Structures are given as C-alpha cells and as structure tokens.
C-alpha cells in the first residue's frame, strides 16, 4: 500500500478527521482519545494503522506537553514504568504473531470496552479498582496490574488511555497534575514504542509519509481545542466521541 495515495478521497478525508481529533483530544478532551484509533483502523488495515498513527500520537503529545509540561507527578510514572515495560513485551508478542484481522478484532474489543467504561464510570463510581492509599502489597499489586495493562493495550492498539485515567483518578491527582502526568506518560510511552513498531515493520517510509502529510491537522486540532475548549459543551462532545468510538469498535468486526 502506498500511503496516503491509495486511501481514495473518502478514506483520506476520514483519516484527516481522525488526525484532527488526535490533536483535539490530546490538548483538551482526553475521553475522546480512543476515537481516532478506531476511525483510522476503518480506513487502513488495522495492523498498518497502529504504526501509521503512532507518529501522529507523538506529535499530539508534544502539543499537550506545551500546555502541561510543568505539572507532573513523576513518582507516579516511576512506579508504573517497570510494569509498563512488561506490558510492552506482551503487546509486542501479540502483534508479531497476529494477523491484521486479529489485530482489528483486538482493537475493536478494546475500543468497545473503553468507551463503555467511560460512558458508565460515574454510575459505577470507579469501584472496579479497590484502591488503598496505604503503601503495601495491595497497592503494589494494583499498580503492577495497571502498568502491565497500560503497556499491553498501548503496544497492541494505541488505546490504553482509559486505564491510565482510572489509575490517576484513584491516585487523586489535581486536574493540572493529572493532565501533565498523562501528557508526559503518553509521550514517553509512545516514543518508547517506536523501536518495537519499526522492528515489526509497522513504521515504514510509507507510514512516515502518511504522518508527514497529516501532521498539520494535529496542530490545527490542538490549537483549536486549546482556544475553544471553554466554549464547547464538553460533556456532550465527549459523549458523542465515546458513542462514535463504540460504533467504530463494532464496525471493526464486519469483514472487509
């Protein structure tokens, strides 16, 4: 496949929308961050989409870091890092052995779960994770499981945002620290995934050309989000994005 020329007009426009949404989500609407993953996997072969979208996610992370780079709780990231690396290895083995169709199904399942979780998290009050503020085996176990899930889901589908968000909410970070910690976490995670994606052949000259063509839309989405976030009805937009993510996840199960 020669990207982006073989997408066709409709495919190119859909990919452009997904790219714009990456910038928007990274800078202002974290709950919408999984939507572009599903949309991109609808117009590209799912396995190819993982490598094609990764440079765009990194650029989106840089846009977010510009706004939140000074508000980070590094102790949280240090606790998660070794477990995320273990998750990376699990995700890498899956990508190495899975077909593009199997990757599509995996992305679909992750998107369905994450959108359902985000839509219902207030009703279930996040009690799936029985958090304990006291240091000890229980807290270590929760941190290790969370880190492995973040690494595995990020490597295999670029879709670990909901798990990270749940963990940081349980840690009770203030909103600016939450945004800064999330921004740095995903920038480091996404940059660390580049060698793995190159080794798997998911990042190539073609996908880099695709990213170069699409990259201005990341900046447009990020700047637009930062300027208009106060004017948007965030709750309605996030619900629209989450239902769209759910739909995209379901569509990935339709044979193409």
Look at residue 176 and give its three-state secondary structure. Answer: helix
Q: Where are the alpha helices (DSSP H) in the chain?
A: 8-27, 35-43, 46-68, 74-97, 100-124, 137-157, 161-171, 175-199, 205-228, 234-251
Tens digit of pLDDT at every position of the chain (256 positions): 445 556 778 888 889 998 998 888 887 766 667 778 888 888 888 888 899 999 999 998 898 888 777 788 888 899 999 999 999 999 999 988 888 778 888 888 887 887 777 677 655 544 545 555 555 677 788 889 889 989 998 898 888 877 787 787 777 777 778 778 888 999 999 999 999 999 998 998 888 988 899 999 998 888 887 676 666 665 666 676 677 777 777 877 766 5
- What pTM does this model have? 0.81
Show contacts of 14-20: CB within 8 Å, 24+ apart.
14/39, 14/42, 14/43, 15/39, 15/40, 15/43, 15/44, 15/210, 15/214, 16/214, 16/217, 18/43, 18/53, 19/56, 19/214, 19/215, 19/217, 19/218, 19/221, 20/217, 20/218, 20/220, 20/221
247: which residues sit within 8 A by CB, 6+ positions away?
A: none
Instruction: Kindly list the domain boundaries of the chain, sorted by start residue.
Output: 5-251
Rounded to whole angstroms, the Cα distance separating 225 from 113 reads: 26
Q: How far is CA 220 from CA 73, 119, 190, 223, in A?
A: 28, 27, 21, 5
- Maximum C-alpha span of the chain: 55
Burial of 109 (0-12, 13-18, 19+ CB in 10 A): middle
């Amino acid at each position: 496949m020669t990207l982006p020329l073989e997408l066709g007009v409709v495919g190119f426009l859909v990919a452009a929308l997904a790219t714009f949404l990456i910038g928007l989500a990274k800078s202002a609407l974290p709950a919408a961050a999984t939507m572009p993953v599903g949309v991109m996997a609808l117009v590209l072969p799912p396995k190819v989409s993982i490598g094609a979208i990764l440079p765009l996610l990194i650029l989106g992370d840089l846009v977010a870091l510009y706004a939140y780079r000074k508000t980070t709780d590094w102790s949280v990231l240090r606790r998660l890092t070794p477990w995320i690396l273990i998750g990376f290895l699990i995700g890498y083995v899956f990508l190495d052995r899975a077909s593009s169709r199997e990757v599509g199904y995996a992305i679909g399942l992750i998107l369905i779960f994450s959108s359902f979780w985000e839509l219902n998290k207030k009703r279930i009050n996040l009690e799936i994770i029985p958090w304990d503020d006291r240091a000890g085996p229980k807290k270590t176990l929760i941190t290790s499981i969370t880190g492995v899930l973040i690494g595995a889901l990020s490597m295999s589908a670029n879709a670990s945002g909901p798990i990270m968000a749940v963990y940081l909410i349980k840690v009770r970070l203030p909103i600016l620290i939450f945004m800064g910690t999330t921004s740095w976490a995903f920038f480091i995670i996404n940059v660390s995934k580049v060698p793995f994606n190159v080794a798997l052949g998911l990042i190539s000259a073609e996908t880099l050309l695709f990213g170069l063509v699409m990259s201005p839309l990341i900046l447009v989405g990020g700047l637009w989000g930062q300027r208009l976030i106060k004017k948007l009805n965030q709750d309605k937009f996030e619900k629209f994005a989450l239902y769209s993510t759910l739909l995209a996840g379901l569509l990935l199960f339709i044979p193409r």
